[in-house]
Amino acid sequence: MIAICMVVGKLISQWLLDSYQFTLPIFVCVLFTGVILSNSLSWVGFYRVFDRAVSVLGNVSLSLFLAMALMSLKLWELASLAIPMLIILLIQAIVMGLYAIFVTFPIMGKNYDAAVLAAGHCGFGLGATPTAIANMQAVTERFGPSHLAFLVVPMVGAFFIDIINALVIKFYLWLPIFSAPIMNG
């Protein structure tokens, strides 16, 4: 099913480019295809996704992504920015933690699912969807599963935020201000 989603997503991305000159990242089309295919097949009763296999594949993929991202960092190029970055990171972590404690956790219901959702929200605030999932995995490995959090956070993070972000960026790049030539003085 993963291979089908990848092939169909690539074809959709290419079709959008050829037909409408609209470029979307391939992962967005693959993600969209996977959501539609998985939900359609489950709704019809033809195929049910094996959650454990998805979990194992997700863990392996997340680990590979984080390893490749960390290996590609050139930290020596950022040495002069170390102190300002540490200060910004410290302030961001404090603000995100306070927001998760005093806003996210109470609004989500002050229960275990709310705690896991707050951990995921901290991941969003300090990084992106993979960071949110890594945070939630750390909590659930110690205190038990939260199916609600693992349904909501990846859907909101990967599906809505990433897709909407790609569309908004594409829209802004279509604006004349970004395509007009820069005039010199």
Domain assignments of the chain as residue spans, ordered by start: 76-179
d(CA 79, CA 96): 25
At 18, the amino acid letter reads D
Instruction: Give pTM, 2 decimals.
Output: 0.58
**Residue 178 predicted with pLDDT over 80:** no
**Contacts of 88 by beta carbon, 8 Å cutoff, 6+ apart:** none
pLDDT band at residue 98 using 50, 70 and 90 as cut-offs:
very high
d(CA 130, CA 104): 19
> How many CA within 13 A on the CB side of residue 8?
13
pLDDT in tens, 133-155: 889 999 999 998 888 888 888 87
pLDDT band at residue 183 using 50, 70 and 90 as cut-offs:
low
Q: Please tell me the predicted confidence (pLDDT) of residue 185.
A: 46
Return the closest-CA partner of residue 174 out of 23, 32, 13: 23
Helices (H), 72-175: 82-99, 105-107, 112-126, 129-143, 147-154, 162-174
